Structure 1
Amino acid sequence: MAVSPDTPQVSPMPEGPSAGRHGLGPHVVGQRVVVRRILPGETGPTGGPAMTDTLGECLSWGRGLCELRTADGTLVTIHLADIVSGKPVPPRPSVRLRRPPRELHLRADAWPGTERRQLGEWVLRAAGRVPDAQHPQGRLLRRANSALAMGDPGVPVAAAAEVVRAFYEERGQAALATVVVDDAVDRELAALGWGLDPVGEVLVQVAAPSRVVRSLRPGRGADGEEVDLAEEAATGAGVARAVARLGEHASVRAHLDGDVVTLHDLWVAEAQRRGGLAGRLVADALDWASSHGATTAQVQVSATNVAAVQFWSVTGFSTHHAYRYRTC
């Protein structure tokens, strides 16, 4: 039996035409479906009729025919009498959701001057303390001071864990590893005695920048102020940075790496919150990123920050994956 790539498994049905014994019909027009059908005049490996599966969007159903459009754009016309079984299937994940977690994390590395060491596909990072408006003496950012433990380190995880521990010990820092929640590396580090950092789980949320911009109403800042968006010095090829501000009331930073823009450090003065300033800043920052070729936007937000999770959800972001930090 010929099976199209990525075709879901379909429960076997009795051989021969069986119109009406499946869950298909005119109601599936516009949906993604998988259809198993007989190939008239051909013999299968067991001596019975040959069959094949077709996965695609149902364009029409009627007059004895069903028409599907496959992922590569091919139109397939099927006689209803030849259908053996079938069912609707979920839509394919968006391109943004199909990006591997490691890629998104690498694109979010927004701290210039960070020391990086490769260990297979793992990346050991050390930036020291990073100063900002709220922390003049600097703060030790976990993302910039942890090993990105995603992918194959090229050695057994136990050996890789020792390299990570030694790397941070040399720098007087606690060993931290950024891991996808409950993936193989996360489980192996747990078995080696690496505990969980108290910051908890962090959600990586993604969206199409153009869609988010359309969903947010344009507006003015506090006291009629316009958003001031200033580009900062690039830190590498294909990398651009910008900060959007509304006077002293709100700000957000955008880090563009290729076609992925990461928003971080979104801040709104307490007295100005719930006034739409955050949405205005996000819209302007993503409009800037889109004009520079961004097709995917991401943010990273603590899973326990209910207000922030709700804000990003309302603006059009959805969870790609969750990560956490392991430490020893």
Structure 2
Amino acid sequence: MTSPDEPQDVNSGSPVTGAHGLGPHVVGTRIVVRRLVPGETGPTGGPAFTDLLGVAEGWWPDLVVRRADGTAVTVPHALIVSGKPVPPRASRLQRVPGREVQRRVRGLWPGETATLGDWLLQVSPPHEGRVRRRANSVLAYGSPDRPLGEALAAVEQWYAARDRPPELCVPLGSAEETALRDAGWTEPPDFDGHAVAVQVGSVARLRRALGPVDGRGDTGTAETRRGPVEGAAPDVERVRASVTADGHRIASGLADLRGDWACVHDVRTDAAYRRTGLARRVVAGLLGEVAERGVTTVVLHVLTTNAPALALYAGLGFEEHHTATYLAPRR
């Protein structure tokens, strides 16, 4: 609702937007405003201007902008010269390159690795009877140290020697993806073109968002266990959080950690207990354990078609860092 004193467009009845482009529509968004400084002269002898950056909290009767330091600045409309919305400031984690995020995760998996320039080749033993795609593919972020055709031939040879199909993990929409598709690589037959959302989060922020999570309830008891990862570097540790009821595990999840980074994976809830908050309890248990070990950043991968998981992690405060897909040679 607008103030009855606020100027209205005679045709639409909507509040008037100034010639500078700002108006009621910017309230709640981050903006930059150039304004006149009354009584001051600029370096060329004309009027003095200054810029203001912050979130618009009000438009009428004056523009109110709250700066990053928490102070609110009131700007009369008559002093506004120009302004525009600006994107939200990227979080610290968003400024970490995708290749660095993915390499942190790859460093947690046991197995054998090799490099081709920026590319990281990896094979890893099966996990719970399943060959994990992200631990058995090339992290093709950046450029190999040779022409693309030679690099792809080397990849195929390396994986053939280890009895694994060659697959590349690439950022979706990237120059790497375009070049590889032009070279004839496409989604593996069993992948169905599903992209993978690489999610990141600050452990401290995620725990604050979770708030207190009761370890006990009608659906059982949450517990955590930790220990080394077989076949991995000795400083890689694994944490398991689970919820049991009547002696049966009904929800569980894993987190592998090294240094101040961890990867959460295999968060599962039995079908009969889904949508009861067990996944939150599992994630809370994992975050509590990794926090005790000095972890500050957590990463996880979710298929972009898994709407319930995406909603869960977004609600907990995870941010989508980027999306990736997998490519294999066309047969």
Give the TM-score band, short-chain normalised.
Answer: 0.7 to 0.9
The farther-off stretch of 241-250 and 82-91 is: 82-91
Alignment partner of 1:173 out of 164, 181, 188 = 164
Query: What whole-Å deviation, never above 9, does each CA across 1:167-201 have from its counterpart, x for those lacking one?
Result: 11222221100011120001100000011123221
Q: Distance in 2 between matches of 1:70 and 1:278?
A: 34
- Provide closer, same or farther for how the CA distance between residues 82 and 274 of structure 1 changes in structure 2, counting only shifts above 3 A: closer
CA shift, 1:326, in A, is 0.5
Sequence identity percentage: 39
Q: Which residue of 1 is the match for residue 12 of structure 2?
A: none
Q: Distance in 2 between matches of 1:67 and 1:265?
A: 44
Q: Distance in 1 between matches of 2:49 and 2:148?
A: 45
The answer (yes or no) to whether the contact 2:228–2:236 under 8 Å persists in 1 is no
Q: Give the SS at the match of 1:275.
A: coil
Residue 121 of structure 2 corresponds to residue 124 of structure 1: yes
Amino acid at match of 2:242: R
Which runs of no fewer than 5 residues in structure 1 stay unpaired?
A: 1-19
C-alpha RMSD of matched pairs (Å)? 3.8
How high is the TM-score relative to the length of structure 1? 0.75
Residue 269 of structure 2 corresponds to residue 278 of structure 1: no
CA shift, 1:77, in A, is 11
Q: Which residue of 1 is the match for residue 199 of structure 2?
A: 205
The answer (yes or no) to whether the contact 2:236–2:256 under 8 Å persists in 1 is yes
Amino acid at match of 1:166: Q
- Provide closer, same or farther for how the CA distance between residues 269 and 67 of structure 1 changes in structure 2, counting only shifts above 3 A: closer
How high is the TM-score relative to the length of structure 2? 0.74
Query: What whole-Å deviation, never above 9, does each CA across 1:274-319 have from its counterpart, x for those lacking one?
Result: 3322111111111222333333322211122233223323333332
Q: Give the SS at the match of 1:42.
A: coil
Residue 110 of structure 2 corresponds to residue 101 of structure 1: no
Q: Which residue of 2 is the match for residue 304 of structure 1?
A: 305
Q: Give the SS at the match of 2:31.
A: strand
Amino acid at match of 1:87: K
- Provide closer, same or farther for how the CA distance between residues 206 and 111 of structure 1 changes in structure 2, counting only shifts above 3 A: closer
- Provide closer, same or farther for how the CA distance between residues 113 and 292 of structure 1 changes in structure 2, counting only shifts above 3 A: closer
CA shift, 1:142, in A, is 0.9
Please show how residues 1-328 of structure 1 align to structure 2 within 5 Å: 21-24=19-22, 32-36=30-34, 40-43=41-44, 55-56=53-54, 69=67, 84-109=81-106, 112-127=109-124, 129-132=125-128, 135=129, 139-197=130-188, 198-199=190-191, 200-216=194-210, 218-221=213-216, 225-233=220-228, 235-236=232-233, 239-247=236-244, 248-328=249-329
The answer (yes or no) to whether the contact 1:213–1:286 under 8 Å persists in 2 is yes
Q: Give the SS at the match of 1:97.
A: helix
